[in-house]
């Protein structure tokens, strides 16, 4: 196997048309090489196109256009890796990691559960994001992503697999937040939220409420179930029903968006 220096010398010995043909064959057979060359030739437009494709690949693991969520970590890792390789020296790999964390916590918030390996990837990625922010010499990147980082860690309903504790632990290590008073979370008055949520819930017709109760996703059963012994809460997404599956008693949740 030739080293990179040896390959470079060999290429210099070839006629230009043979170099072009070799390059063409390489990008035809290697997806990563095609992405790399596209970015080198097209610059920012190619990176933005790749970013959108990677975001779509991640989104479909949680919210497919048809069928049930696959939640395949290898597909998410593939998207993150592609962006990391092509976007070296830019903030786009960071953007994709934050996007993945946002999609994952939204999914957990809505369903109440997630596969353990995907949960591990979420917490590992969030920790990597925090480390990247801490390594920055200036707070510019933190200021750009501050609100999104806060929203991720403050998303409710992420208690499964200890995800909530892990996210909060990582966020507590964020050095830029120490002197930033905007990151302080003001506690809500007890019982006020529950009362408001119940009021909004009871305003719905009985048949609509029954429809929500009987159509809740259970990650343990991997099917739709009936939620029972549930509480009614309000958060920034809308009304949240939290209870247990009528089949297996696993914790489940249903979000009724505003």
Residue 25 pLDDT? 75
Q: Which tens digit of pLDDT belongs to each residue from 193-220?
A: 355 667 678 778 888 888 999 999 888 8
* pLDDT above 60 for 184: no
Both tokens of residue 132?
């990247």
* pLDDT above 90 for 91: yes
Both tokens of residue 149?
């980082």
Judge contact between 109 and 156, C-beta under 8 A: yes
Residue 234 pLDDT? 75
Judge contact between 114 and 257, C-beta under 8 A: no
The residues, ordered by sequence, that sit 6+ positions from 92 with a Cβ below 8 Å of its Cβ are 47, 48, 51, 83
When pLDDT is cut at 50, 70 and 90, the band that residue 107 belongs to is: very high
Judge contact between 69 and 62, C-beta under 8 A: yes
Neighbours of 150 (CB within 10 A): 17
**How far is the first Cα of the chain from the last one, in angstroms, to the nearest whole number?**
60
Mean pLDDT of the chain: 84
Residue 237 pLDDT? 72
Q: Which tens digit of pLDDT belongs to each residue from 120-130?
A: 999 999 999 99
Query: What percentage of the chain reaches a pLDDT higher than 90?
Result: 41
pTM passes above 0.85: no
Judge contact between 57 and 79, C-beta under 8 A: yes
């Amino acid at each position: 196997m030739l080293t990179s220096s040896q390959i470079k010398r060999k290429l210099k010995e070839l006629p230009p048309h043979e170099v072009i043909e070799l390059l063409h064959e390489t990008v035809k057979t290697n997806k990563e090489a095609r992405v790399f060359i596209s970015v080198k030739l097209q610059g920012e437009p190619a990176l933005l196109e790749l970013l959108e494709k990677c975001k779509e690949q991640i989104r479909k693991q949680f919210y497919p256009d048809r069928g049930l969520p696959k939640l395949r970590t290898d597909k998410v890792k593939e998207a993150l890796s592609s962006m990391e390789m092509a976007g070296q020296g830019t903030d786009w790999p960071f953007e994709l990691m934050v996007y993945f964390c946002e999609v994952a916590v939204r999914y957990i918030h809505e369903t109440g559960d997630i596969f353990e390996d995907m949960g591990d990837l979420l917490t590992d990625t969030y920790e990597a994001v925090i480390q990247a922010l801490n390594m920055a010499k200036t707070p510019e990147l933190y200021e750009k992503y501050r609100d999104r980082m806060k929203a991720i860690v403050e998303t409710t309903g992420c208690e499964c697999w200890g995800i909530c504790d892990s996210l909060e632990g990582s966020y507590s290590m964020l050095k830029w937040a120490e002197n930033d008073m905007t990151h302080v979370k003001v506690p809500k008055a007890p019982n006020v939220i529950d009362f408001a949520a119940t009021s909004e819930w009871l305003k719905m017709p009985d048949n609509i409420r029954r429809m929500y109760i009987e159509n809740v996703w259970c990650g343990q059963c991997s099917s739709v179930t009936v939620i029972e012994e549930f509480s009614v809460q309000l958060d920034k997404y809308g009304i949240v029903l939290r209870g247990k599956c009528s089949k297996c008693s696993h914790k489940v949740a249903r979000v009724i968006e505003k």
